[in-house]
Amino acid sequence: AARPFEQVPGERRGGWLNLYHFWQEGGLHNVHNIMARKFQRFGPIYREKLGVYESINIISPRDAATLFRSEGMLPERFSVPPWVAYRDYRNKPYGVLLKTGEAWRSDRLTLNKEVLSPRVVEGFVPLLSEVGEDFVRRARAQVQKSGRERWTADFSHELFRFALESVCHVLYGERLGLLQDFVDPEAQRFIDAVTLMFHTTSPMLYLPPALLRGLNARTWRDHVHAWDAIFTQADKCIQNVYRDLRLQRKGSREYGGILSSLLLQDKLPLDDIKASVTEMMAGGVDTTSVTLQWAMFELARSPGTQEQLRAEVLAAKHEAAGDRVKMLKSTPLLKAAIKETLRLHPVAVTLQRYTVQEVVLQDYRIPPKTLVQVGLYAMGRDPEVFPKPEQFSPERWLLPGSKHFKGLSFGFGPRQCLGRRIAELEMQLFLMHILENFKIETKRAVEVGTKFDLILLPDKPIYLTLRPL
Ligand code: HEM
Ligand code: 2DC
């Protein structure tokens, strides 16, 4: 028989003492490294208590498979306390990100049809490709301006704008014009608000929502302001689309974006649509832009791989006569390169689920209602799971039988990332356009580490050079 829960290895200290040590050791921005070290110390399963939250942590794909296969119809992840606290404080409805139970499921099923289903997803391709083309145009103009036949910069701000422009195009069917020299200050404020919202979440991550709301600390106030700015700006965009639809300004035959489809369908109450669309708008900025920054960095450091990808893209372009939907069907290495980027640089440090029944992980019996975390960052760098983990090698994803519960960057199952298909297409099309037009270069010597700011980010600016082919 399997071993009892109480025997799972880990520190036996109290939760508050643990949280104190965690703070002291600079754990705030270092969650990913601390986890990786704990797996080394305790083995492939350990328990941990931070503040009031106790969790079991696992690293192996087999255990992840066991966890996700038993998650049931209404999977729940760790509900980020300050996000819940903000909505309760301002009396805002939850979107799919924070909803649970049947309420989550019915919203999610309606949203899936408009955001994830293969039927609509193909329609996103021209919208996202157009934004990619505009990025190339802007980059060419910057090359001209430099007078040096190249553009060298920290691209993070450019990519934030690219990412916001991209999600908004599919959500609202409209362009914001963020890839021009003049950037709407309101859009820039939205971008800054999302970054601030993530940044102020991490120090409050392990405190219970009730405690947070009573707190008048600086971090909580900044957090509230950040969410206020996010909701205000999203509301403006949503109102515009709503008004245009009522005035029938849009031709009823052309695709008007995700929001207008949801409004026309009339299956969800307006407040629920607004809540989830706001979450998608906010969720669509830092996630894809940071991943693209890492992807370009890795490709710059592996010129051979970059050449292989370029050859694949150019061949696909030739064969498909420029049809982007067709091209996406014959660029497996490009897709693998994005998977590989997310292996080394996942957005989410862990995936989490509350167990609904007893499961056996590493021969320990884990009771129902336990928070179990899959250490995604640690798994991506574990040599047992990925041989030579430090090597960026997209081909590893093309080996048969190599993927079993390893490509988990967007989560798994019915609760996986709602924006997954948007994110994947946006990133694939962006890299396609860049590879068709530029060589990506960087100073080879520069090492860039990772910092936890709720999502994982580069710990210093990444300077890249785009050189026209
Ligand atoms: C949830 C990753 C981009 C919206 C998640 C989760 C992960 C994730 C790991 C949790 C999944 C789970 O628990 O199984 C990523 C990555 C992205 C990305 C790696 C890009 C590189 C986006 C974009 C959007 C978005 C572009 C919006 C269009 C959401 C939402 C949820 C979610 C709304 C919550 C879904 C639910 O609870 O039903 N994402 N994401 N994400 N993501 Fe993303
Ligand atoms: C953060 O311990 C660390 O995709 C915590 O687009 C566990 C945890 C729970 C939920 C995760 C979060 C971590 C990282 C950021 C994620 C989030 C679920 C969705 C969110 C992964 C790993 C993200 C970035 C969404 C955000 C949408 C939001 C801006 C409205």
For residue range 298-350, list pLDDT tens digits in order.
999 999 999 999 999 999 999 999 899 999 999 999 999 999 999 999 999 99
Q: Which amino acid is at 391?
A: Q
pLDDT of 403 reads 82
CB 173 within 8 A of CB 256: yes
Whole-angstrom distance, CA of residue 13 vs CA of residue 16:
9
Pocket probe for ligand 1: among 258, 417, 425, the residue whose CB has the most ligand atoms within 8 Å is 417
Q: How many CA within 13 A on the CB side of residue 434?
A: 28
**Ligand 1 contacts CB of residue 278 (under 6 A):** no
In tens, the pLDDT along 35-79 reads 999 999 999 999 999 888 999 999 999 999 999 999 999 999 999
Label residue 402 by pLDDT band (50, 70, 90): confident
Atom 22, ligand 2: residue with shortest CA distance: 348
Label residue 429 by pLDDT band (50, 70, 90): very high
- Taking the centre of ligand 2 as the mean of its atom positions, its distance from the CA of residue 348, in whole angstroms, is 6
Structure tokens at 164: 């916001």
pLDDT of 54 reads 93
Label residue 250 by pLDDT band (50, 70, 90): low
**Residue 96: count of CB within 10 angstroms of its CB:** 22
E strand map for 241-399: 351-354, 359-361, 364-366, 371-374
The owner of tokens 């047992």 is 384
pLDDT of 252 reads 64
Name the 3-class secondary structure at 193. Answer: helix
- Taking the centre of ligand 2 as the mean of its atom positions, its distance from the CA of residue 221, in whole angstroms, is 20
Task: Please say whether the dihedral angle defined by the alpha carbons of residues 267, 272, 278 and 281, taken in this order, is positive or negative.
Answer: negative
Name the 3-class secondary structure at 294. Answer: helix
CB 362 within 8 A of CB 45: yes
Q: How many CA within 13 A on the CB side of residue 211?
A: 8
Name the 3-class secondary structure at 311. Answer: helix
Does the pLDDT value for residue 24 go beyond 90? no
In tens, the pLDDT along 85-109 reads 999 999 999 999 999 999 999 999 9
The owner of tokens 């255990």 is 63
- Taking the centre of ligand 2 as the mean of its atom positions, its distance from the CA of residue 329, in whole angstroms, is 30
Name the 3-class secondary structure at 269. Answer: coil
pTM (2 d.p.): 0.97
Average pLDDT rounded to a whole number, residues 440-444: 89
- Taking the centre of ligand 1 as the mean of its atom positions, its distance from the CA of residue 51, in whole angstroms, is 26
DSSP 359: E
Residues with Cβ within 8 Å of 9's Cβ and at least 6 positions away in sequence, in order, are 42, 43, 45, 46, 47
Does the pLDDT value for residue 160 go beyond 70? yes
Atom 32, ligand 1: residue with shortest CA distance: 417
Atom 13, ligand 2: residue with shortest CA distance: 348
Does the pLDDT value for residue 273 go beyond 90? yes
Does the pLDDT value for residue 130 go beyond 90? yes
Pocket residues: Cβ below 6 A from ligand 2: 77-78, 80, 97, 205, 279, 282-283, 287, 347-350, 352, 417, 454-455
In tens, the pLDDT along 407-425 reads 999 999 999 999 999 999 9
Pocket probe for ligand 2: among 32, 92, 97, the residue whose CB has the most ligand atoms within 8 Å is 97
- Taking the centre of ligand 2 as the mean of its atom positions, its distance from the CA of residue 338, in whole angstroms, is 19
